[in-house]
Structure 1
């Protein structure tokens, strides 16, 4: 009969779920009104291991927003200086304003194994993937129809007809880039779509390529008679 080794509860062999893991950059994109922001808020409330990336922007602060929490609000010249100093992982020009992801905080959290949520458009997702490659998971959320998307935008009662027309024109452009994403979902049911996004996040965390402590665990298995 083969001898068996009893493993103490704190031993690394008994704790495979505790492998050191590299963080991931979880990107959600969608046309305005397709539900991206709602799903982002639900993910953050549901998952303590996920942190929202705080972008810098040149747009004015809106009532209730907090500088450094919702956005880093900067003037145009400061933003241009940050671009020139290579301080952004990605940036884009959207609706007359500029938005960008500061490089330093994101790289630090990634190395520490923290996961970061990005609410950015296809341009930002593309730039982020070019720079960070395998660390990036891209999810695109589609509306069930363009008619429904327009109804949602008008139902907000926050934008003029002119702004809604611009958002709809941009939506067609954004949807044309659906094939640049790893996952594409249709948000015809908010709860069901959220559940699918959460499943994608959990599955991506378990990928072998992110388990940086796995090699050490395997080596221990090779040297112990269990």
Structure 2
């Protein structure tokens, strides 16, 4: 497992599926010059997803082989698909940037917090159930998939109490602005508010 150096920080974006955590994370990461560590998964890509950008999509056999080689620091199963983060990817991204971020479900977020303690900042992004359902419909998810994700909604929401920061993503620009200011306190980039 990669050992974090003193000033290295990992920001983990978590929250219910459809809350916009990926969009919020990418916009905040871009503004602050942070690099994303991409998770691996055995599930097939959705129509809007790209390999290497949203996830590293690999076969179950490849995943099991990497797991046998002890390449993952965290592995979870969601809806019968495996997800994992490779230690080597974390190390590589830290070579490019002093701070990195990941987009994980609550199980992955908990695991990273246990592994790295205070050097992991958990950021919970959420929206109300109706908004999530609409966003999932808009992104082309099937009724079955939507029902499955919404069945976890209350459990996901309960996890926010364990997170360092909580943002309701009603207005994307507002959420990103507030979040970027919050993360800047950790990074000491001294962003200037021009409003």
Calculate the TM-score normalised by the size of structure 2. Answer: 0.83
State the secondary structure of the residue aligned to 1:34.
coil
* 1:213-224 aligned within 5 A: none
Match of 2:168 in 1: 186
Is 1:195–2:180 an aligned residue pair?
A: no
Q: CA deviation at 1:185?
A: 1.5
User: Are residues 199 and 157 of structure 1, via their aligned partners in 2, closer, same or farther at CA, if it must alter by over 3 Å?
Assistant: closer
Conservation of the 8 A alpha-carbon contact between 1:23 and 1:111: no
Match of 1:38 in 2: 23
Deviations 1:144-194 (A, max 9, x none): x2223223323x151222221111112222112112211111122221111
Match of 1:77 in 2: 61
Match of 1:29 in 2: 14
For 1:86, which of 47, 70, 89 is the aligned residue? 70
Q: How far, CA to CA, are the matches of 1:113 and 1:147 in structure 2?
A: 37
Q: CA deviation at 1:67?
A: 4.0
Match of 1:164 in 2: 146
* 1:42-121 aligned within 5 A: 42-47=27-32, 49-62=33-46, 66-110=50-94, 114-121=98-105
Conservation of the 8 A alpha-carbon contact between 1:33 and 1:153: yes
Match of 2:129 in 1: 146
| Structure 2 gap ranges (5+) | 189-195
Conservation of the 8 A alpha-carbon contact between 2:74 and 2:85: yes
User: Are residues 63 and 169 of structure 1, via their aligned partners in 2, closer, same or farther at CA, if it must alter by over 3 Å?
Assistant: closer
Q: How many residues align?
A: 185
Calculate the TM-score normalised by the size of structure 1. Answer: 0.72
Deviations 1:5-61 (A, max 9, x none): xxxxxxxxxxxxxxx9722111111211111122122123323x2101111111224
Q: How far, CA to CA, are the matches of 1:132 and 1:46 in structure 2?
A: 24
Q: How far, CA to CA, are the matches of 1:160 and 1:65 in structure 2?
A: 15
State the secondary structure of the residue aligned to 2:7.
coil
| Structure 1 gap ranges (5+) | 1-19, 207-226
Q: How far, CA to CA, are the matches of 1:25 and 1:62 in structure 2?
A: 27
User: Are residues 30 and 167 of structure 1, via their aligned partners in 2, closer, same or farther at CA, if it must alter by over 3 Å?
Assistant: same
